[in-house]
Structures are given as structure tokens and as C-alpha cells.
Structure 1
């Protein structure tokens, strides 16, 4: 009897005929992608379940072992059956035991296809150092609740940050001690390879890593466009030049090369004084209260680490809201405050004259001279709020991304569509921005009943893909109380016609925008109908 699978359960197929997959349309196959992803997670959960069963049979319920202990005997079965290394087999066993003994509720999200095995590994690794049984039980409950109730996709950086913020709030003393131990272990190591190359590894504080990276890339990018090295090769050569103080040169080989390569020492001085490391926190944490911070390119950091950064002589501390710009108004909004013992509940501002928790403060979002352009404060706020590119699964920093109007800005009639406001702007990496601009995909951004900002992407064939499940609003809930909106009396954008082909191009663009507006209106109508009449 063959062990080969000749068919899949119906849940995997999602309506696709396995004998004739070409007869199903693209939208159906998109649904099948999701079904297969859920099935893969379920199979991983089944493997963990079997590992636990074999572990109980061979280790827990069996005593002794002559030359080989029972755990090794059990792990050997796992690695040899799958033809994997002993390390990989023991990793499977360790993960299975962790899910059973420490994270049983999180394990059910793997069974139900909410997380993949790779993402489960992220949860396990970020909670691994928690030794208090009561704390790990609380974390297990809280993580599972968020994963089940939050609408959206979980990329690895977003999930890592979500777990970290809960760990930092549940066990701040342990986090502080672990950071001290980690800094004590900083150092530099080398490893020689057999092919005439080697590797150098340096462990240091997160902010110093960012500064060092900027210095390497700044020097590497000074060569001309004809240099034949790849980016990583240039980075390697630039790093050597910085470490040794030797010259770094363009390798294009042309006599007329116009590259202006600076001395490595000058690069270090320039980068040290000019590099910007974006760290986000709230005033209470900055003033010594309990809380967390978030560092662009690294993730969640402790409150103590935040204060260390703020006390650096080269640090600049700025509020998210513009200092010299008064809010246009304060409006009431449905409260999103939760119970006081909920770690996701909003932290009230330290200012004594702050508005109530159910009020939203509105600032101007567009430049007065050009309503298409957001103000500097609005642009900074959107990047702080998003943290990452809003494309599902993209780990690109929002501070290295473009800002995109979710509903397209209508340059012909600015009042018609696409206001320049924080609720209609989000961060997209350059590829995501270009794909949105020149492709036929449609994205939508709105707030759900809990006040969370939800992003959805609709493919040309009508398949909806959810955006990321979290933004930095979930780390710092007071961000939800800030809005940037386009002034109602913003001046119109001038329209200049320069040739006979301009009207047709303009008409095509107008038709594209109108088509997208109509599609968004249909989507919104359907979403509201689904919320009003939930399926039986």
C-alpha cells in the first residue's frame, strides 16, 4: 500500500477541482492558497500532538535507560523518520513541549490556522525566558485573545512586537535584568570559513547597531553607478575600510569616474552626528513611569532603555503633535477605553488639561499651498502610527517608505475624493506604492467597532486580503486620539493643459479614480451589511 497522498480533504480544495485546476478562476485559487496555509498549520499542530504522545509513552511512562537516556531515544525517532538533523528533531520536541506545558491556548491558534509554525516559533522564542508560571499563563491567555479577536494578518515583525509589548508589561523586572545581561555579553567574534573567507560578528546596543549600519551604507553608496559590485559586496568592503581606516575606492575602472568617495573617518563623523534613530514612547514612560518604547528597525524596548536613549547628548525629543500649530477642533468619538487591568487599555496623558479619553484632537493635515502634500507633522504622525509598510507581510520601515493616499487624491477636483488626512494616508514601501499607483488593486482603510485601524487589499478579481493586524496605536493607544485632516477651504490644485494628449490622459485617470471610488463604495456597503446581518 502506497503512502503517497492522492487527494486532499475538501477543506484544502476550497472549491477547486483537483483533476482540473485550470477550470477554476483566480479568485477561487486565492481562496485555496488560504485554505492550504490553514491546512499546513493544522498538520504542524498534528505533528506536535504526535510528538507529545510519543514523548509521554517513551519518556514520562518509561523509567531508566541503559546507555541512552529516554529523551534521546524519543528525539532520535523524530529526526530519523523525517531524515533531519538531531538538532532539528530536538527543536520539534522542544516546541511541542513548550506549547503543551507553557502555551496551550496559543497552540490552538496553530490548530485553527491563525498562525503558521514559523510564527508559532516566534511566540515561543519571545516568551522563552519567562520563568514565572503565573506570568506565562497570563501571557498565553492574552496572546491567544489578541490573535483571535484582531482583524488582519500577522507578519513576523508585527507578531514579534505584539508579543514583546505584552512581555515587557507583564514582567518588566525580568526584562530589565535580561537587558543588562545581554549588554554584558556584547563583544566581537570571528569565524573562518574553508573557502578563504570569514565572518565578523559584533553584538552591541540596538541604537549603536543602527548607527554602525548607517555608516557602512553611507560609505558604500558613494561609488558611481558603474561600480560592478553588488550592494552586499560594497557594504563588506566599506565595513573593512571603516574598521581599519584604509581607503575605500570606486571599482568602475573608468578614468572619467566622477565618484566623490570621502575619507572613512569623515563618514563616521558625519553619520554619528546626522543619523536619525526613531524611537516612539509616551510621556509617562519618558518621565520614569512604567511603559515601553519602540525603535525603528529593532522593535520593542523597555522603558529604561527609552530613558537611556533620551539622555544621550545627541538625542532630540519631540512630541507627535505639532508644537506651534493649534488644533482645529476637539471632537467626540466613541470611547475605545477598556478595563483598567487590560494591558491594551489607553494610558492617559500626563498633561493636567488633556481632553477626556473619548475626545479626538484634530490638526491640519495638508499644506495650505498644496493640499495634496501632507504637513510635516501629519507625515511624521502617519509613519509613527504605522511603524512598518502597510503591505501585508512587508517588514520595510515606515520611515523608509512613501506615504500614499489610500483613496486617490483627485487633483482636478480635490474636494471630490482622496483627502490628505491621517485616516486616508498610510506608509507603503516603494514597490507597494508603485504597484498601487500603476496596478488595478484597490486598498481600503477604516476603523472597526473597537477603534482599530483596518486595511484591506482587493485584487483585480475581487479577492480581499487583510492588511496587518496591528499598528503602533496598539502600543500607544493615545495615538488614536490624534487626527490630521485636510482643511475644508483648501485651495484647488491648478490645472494646466499643455497639449492635445493631456485631456485623454486626464480622462483615463479620472475614469480609473471613478472606478475605484465605485468599487470602494460597493465594498463598504457589503461590509456594513455583513456587520449588520452576521452569517448563521
Structure 2
């Protein structure tokens, strides 16, 4: 008889190579970069263990479910019986065990190529779950084979990281292209299931959930935020608490009040039933190509804060009252001989400031902050010069161009500006845009593997005129009685960063891409 009580675990005896060559007994003796690389290797180990667990679960499925002639019972069937074995031995719930069974079969039978990526440590267990969820409507369809192969090919061939949002959008655009009918049907089913539910919680609280079209959620959330922000700065509630109170006021038609308790309160709270505040407009950014908007094509589109949406969905949004359509390429701009369009890159009065066209282009192209893992919307972030702009001599770098700028959230923008992190951006020989980030210790980390250029290939046909002149010279007044620097501290830091970027690019040519 077998027992779960066995000999001591053999895992502590693993060679250090499996742990990124970092001794877990003396981790403080490792260099900073070795610790980070070791964590990456541990992540690959977690992926392999998850693959091995799914393999075992799939074998249990074959023996206890697939091999039985009939597995349907009134109370107990083969699936439930198999899940019960897993639940008891792993001390998890029956529901969690059934989910594990479904995940194992989905990976093995529907996504075998992605399953191999999990085995090889190319994706994490969480990323594998995301791919499962974004492809579940293909279960049993012939398109599943092609979608699995294309997703796995991109995972293996692309340099860089896959944040949750980038991986989600990559899977969605592939699914939308291979089986648009299934996507259309799924959206209609989801809309038919819209509704509102409440769920009581402990300590006299409860939650309210509303399922509706994604654009309606964005509009409703903007209204709640606008009302919550109408209080004065002395209101003691957190942002989340104000939002909860504002949502109740909107739903119930009652008055939302500032709780500062001051006689000289400056809050301007709108009357119940009015749009809060009266001068606020909810803006939802949706991007699509012209042919899809006109109905001549069914290419997927992109909704800020949501992700990839279908062609029918974007046309529904465009038909809503109050929708405004703005082309990225203004009418009257002629195409060049190579079928590209050239737009101004900067304001005529200042080559440091990007033009409206370039600013919009950057936000469309990047979608979110370019820092790996950050999902802050590009429309709530800053346009940043990758190489620092030299106001005295723009030729030194930091040009206001599409390749010379990207989008960073306010936090990451400030961390780069005032810290010692370095980033770089360039196109490879295939025309793909790459970002890199270098830690203060010199570890080079490759940025996200995908941008919205993959969703909208037409963005690669847009060119921008580089600045041709520097801003007016601003004389600096120096106190001749004090010692002066040849260059300021900021100028010295920018010079060091330019030199480091140059070394990194030479390394690309000599040694190939960085390991991350």
C-alpha cells in the first residue's frame, strides 16, 4: 500500500545550477545581478514543475475518465471522482481540483505547442492560464491548431517580456483573425448575460457587480471618479472610500457630500441627478483602421483600458451618440511613392515638444507604459525622450521622433529622470521596435515583446519629419566669483547614459542580444 508519507524531500539537494548558481543557504554572498538572474532561473523551474503536474493530472484523466465507457452518474461521475483524488491528496477544494483537470486537458489537447513552452520555461504558469482563458472559445474547432502554433511561435521567437496585458492582446488579435465568427458569437452571448448582482460580506458590508458592455463600464467608472474627486482637499476619505460613496449617490439619486467638516469648504458638488461634475466629459480612446470603421474590413480594434475588440464592437461604439472620429493622418496629406505618409514630428515653435500627430501616434503604438509589467494606460502617461533631450545642442541626442520617444507612466518617468536607470529604444533589421532597460548595477533587461504595431501594421507606414533646428539659445548668467563646472551634474549624467547606450548597441552587434 502506498502512502503520502515518504522519505525527506530531495529538493534541498538540487545542484546550484537549478537555482541560478545562487546558494540558498548563503544568498547574501551573491552579487545583485546574480540574485536577479537566479530568480529568473527559479521561475523557469516553477514552469517545469507546473508542466510536470499538468502531465500527471492528464494521465489521471485518461485512466479515470477517458478510459471508462460511461462516466456520468447521478451524483458521482468519473470527472468528479478523479478531481476528488486530486483534492484530497493536495488538500485543495473539489472546485480547484476540477479547474486543474480542465487546465491540464486544455494545454495537452488544445494547446500542445504552448504546453511545450511552459515545459521549457518560456512562459510562467500564470501566463499559461491566461492563454487558456483567451483561447477557450476555440475548444473543438479546427482553428485551434493554427492559433496554438502561432502563439507558440511568437513566444519562442520574440525577444522581451510578456506582461499580462501584452500577452492577452497578442492572443486576442490572433484568435480574432483566425475565427472572427466565434468572437462575434461570444460577444453576443456575453451581452445577453449582462445584469447586476449583489453579494453580502462579513461585518455588515456587501458588494454590487454589474456586467455590461466594456465602453459602458468605462463611462460609468469615469462618472464615479469625477464625482468622487469633486470634494475639497481636506476631505479625509481615501480615494477608494470616496468612490464607493460616490457610486451609491449616483445609483440612489442622493446627495454626495464633502466630509471635511469645514465652514469654508471649497468643494463644488453637483446636484443629484446631474452628470458629475457638469463640465466633465468621459473620454474613451478606441483605435481602428479606416477600412474596418467603414465596414470594408473586419480587422480587430483596440479599446484603451480593455484591450482588443472586434470589428463589430468598434462600429457599434462609433455609432453611439457623441462619438467623435479623428483620423491620425489628416485629410489632404498625400502618400509618398513607397505608400508611406510623412507628418510633422514637433511643434513649429519648439522642436522639443512633439506634435499632436506624434503624441497621438506614440500613445496608439505603445498602448501602455513601456516599462516591463506596467499596465498604466498610455493616455494617462507621459511622452518621454528615450535619450535625454539636450536643449543646448539637440544634435547630441534626444531627438523628437517616433523612434526617439516612448510612453512612460508618471512614476517610471520620474524614476528614470531622477534615478540611475537607463533605457534605450531601437529598430532591428526586420523593422521591429525594441526597448531595453539597464539597472544601476548594469544588468540589461529587454522590454516588452509586442507593441500595437503588431495589431495595426499600418502604423509602420507613418513617418515623421525630424527636427531641423535647435531651440533659441538661452544665455546662462554665471557668478564669476564662484567656481563653475564645465558641465552640470545633469549634463554629466546624460553624457554617461549616451556612452552606455552606445556600448550596449555595440554589444548587440558583437555578442548578440542580452539574456533577458
Q: Deviations over 1:59-93 (max 9, x none)?
A: 33356679743322221222222211111111111
CA contact (8 A) 1:153 1:392 kept: yes
Cα distance in 1 for partners of 2:207, 2:473 equals 55
Cα distance in 1 for partners of 2:117, 2:305 equals 27
In the alignment, structure 1 residue 51 sits paired with structure 2 residue 57: yes
CA contact (8 A) 2:399 2:467 kept: no
CA contact (8 A) 1:456 1:467 kept: yes
In the alignment, structure 1 residue 39 sits paired with structure 2 residue 45: yes
Q: Deviations over 1:371-402 (max 9, x none)?
A: 21111111111001100111101111101111
Cα distance in 2 for partners of 1:170, 1:255 equals 62
What residue number does 1:286 align with? 293
Counterpart pick for 1:147 among 146, 155, 164: 155
CA contact (8 A) 1:414 1:492 kept: no
Counterpart pick for 2:244 among 220, 236, 242: 236
Runs of at least 5 residues in structure 2 that lack an aligned partner in the other structure: 1-6
For residues 260 and 19 of structure 1, do their structure 2 counterparts lie closer, same or farther at Cα, with a shift above 3 Å needed?
same
CA contact (8 A) 1:281 1:293 kept: yes
Counterpart pick for 1:136 among 139, 144, 167: 144
More off after superposition, 282-291 vs 190-199: 190-199
CA contact (8 A) 1:405 1:425 kept: yes
Cα distance in 2 for partners of 1:505, 1:246 equals 64
What residue number does 2:234 align with? 226
What residue number does 1:21 align with? 27
More off after superposition, 285-294 vs 359-368: 359-368
Q: Deviations over 1:101-144 (max 9, x none)?
A: 10001111111111111111111111111245311111111111
In the alignment, structure 1 residue 453 sits paired with structure 2 residue 459: no
CA contact (8 A) 2:117 2:123 kept: yes
Residue-pair matches, total: 505
CA contact (8 A) 2:270 2:276 kept: no
For residues 412 and 184 of structure 1, do their structure 2 counterparts lie closer, same or farther at Cα, with a shift above 3 Å needed?
same
Shift of residue 313, structure 1, vs aligned partner: 2.6
Counterpart pick for 2:343 among 339, 359, 363: 363
Counterpart pick for 2:379 among 380, 384, 399: 399
- Report the 3-state secondary structure (helix = DSSP H, G, I; strand = E; otherwise coil) of the residue aligned with 1:242: helix
Shift of residue 449, structure 1, vs aligned partner: 2.5
Cα distance in 1 for partners of 2:206, 2:25 equals 51
CA contact (8 A) 2:427 2:434 kept: yes
CA contact (8 A) 1:164 1:300 kept: yes
- Report the 3-state secondary structure (helix = DSSP H, G, I; strand = E; otherwise coil) of the residue aligned with 1:474: coil
More off after superposition, 60-69 vs 213-222: 60-69
Cα distance in 1 for partners of 2:268, 2:276 equals 16
- Report the 3-state secondary structure (helix = DSSP H, G, I; strand = E; otherwise coil) of the residue aligned with 1:305: helix
Counterpart pick for 2:406 among 403, 423, 426: 426
For normalisation by structure 1, the TM-score amounts to: 0.89
In the alignment, structure 1 residue 310 sits paired with structure 2 residue 291: no
Cα distance in 1 for partners of 2:486, 2:82 equals 69
Cα distance in 2 for partners of 1:255, 1:114 equals 60
Shift of residue 450, structure 1, vs aligned partner: 2.3
Q: How does 1:193-208 map to 2 (within 5 A)?
A: 193-208=201-216
Q: Deviations over 1:288-321 (max 9, x none)?
A: 1121110001111110111111122311111112
Cα distance in 2 for partners of 1:306, 1:429 equals 26
Cα distance in 2 for partners of 1:219, 1:152 equals 40
Cα distance in 2 for partners of 1:315, 1:298 equals 18
CA contact (8 A) 1:367 1:373 kept: yes
Cα distance in 2 for partners of 1:491, 1:64 equals 79
Shift of residue 530, structure 1, vs aligned partner: 2.6
- Report the 3-state secondary structure (helix = DSSP H, G, I; strand = E; otherwise coil) of the residue aligned with 2:463: strand
Spell out structure 1 runs of 4+ moving beyond 6 A: 64-67, 498-502
In the alignment, structure 1 residue 530 sits paired with structure 2 residue 507: no
In the alignment, structure 1 residue 436 sits paired with structure 2 residue 442: no
CA contact (8 A) 1:105 1:141 kept: yes
Runs of at least 5 residues in structure 1 that lack an aligned partner in the other structure: 327-352
CA RMSD of aligned residues (A): 2.4
Cα distance in 2 for partners of 1:22, 1:240 equals 51
CA contact (8 A) 1:189 1:200 kept: yes
For residues 55 and 177 of structure 1, do their structure 2 counterparts lie closer, same or farther at Cα, with a shift above 3 Å needed?
closer
For residues 111 and 194 of structure 1, do their structure 2 counterparts lie closer, same or farther at Cα, with a shift above 3 Å needed?
same
What residue number does 1:350 align with? none
For normalisation by structure 2, the TM-score amounts to: 0.92
Cα distance in 2 for partners of 1:499, 1:58 equals 86
Shift of residue 9, structure 1, vs aligned partner: 4.1
For residues 188 and 35 of structure 1, do their structure 2 counterparts lie closer, same or farther at Cα, with a shift above 3 Å needed?
same
Q: Deviations over 1:466-522 (max 9, x none)?
A: 211111100010101213343212434524447689965961011000000000000
Counterpart pick for 1:521 among 496, 499, 502: 502
More off after superposition, 440-449 vs 486-495: 486-495
Q: Deviations over 1:18-70 (max 9, x none)?
A: 44322221111111111111111111111101111222233333566797433
In the alignment, structure 1 residue 478 sits paired with structure 2 residue 458: yes
Cα distance in 2 for partners of 1:93, 1:314 equals 47
For residues 134 and 490 of structure 1, do their structure 2 counterparts lie closer, same or farther at Cα, with a shift above 3 Å needed?
same
CA contact (8 A) 1:423 1:483 kept: no
Counterpart pick for 1:5 among 7, 11, 16: 11
Cα distance in 1 for partners of 2:229, 2:15 equals 52
In the alignment, structure 1 residue 106 sits paired with structure 2 residue 86: no
What residue number does 1:337 align with? none
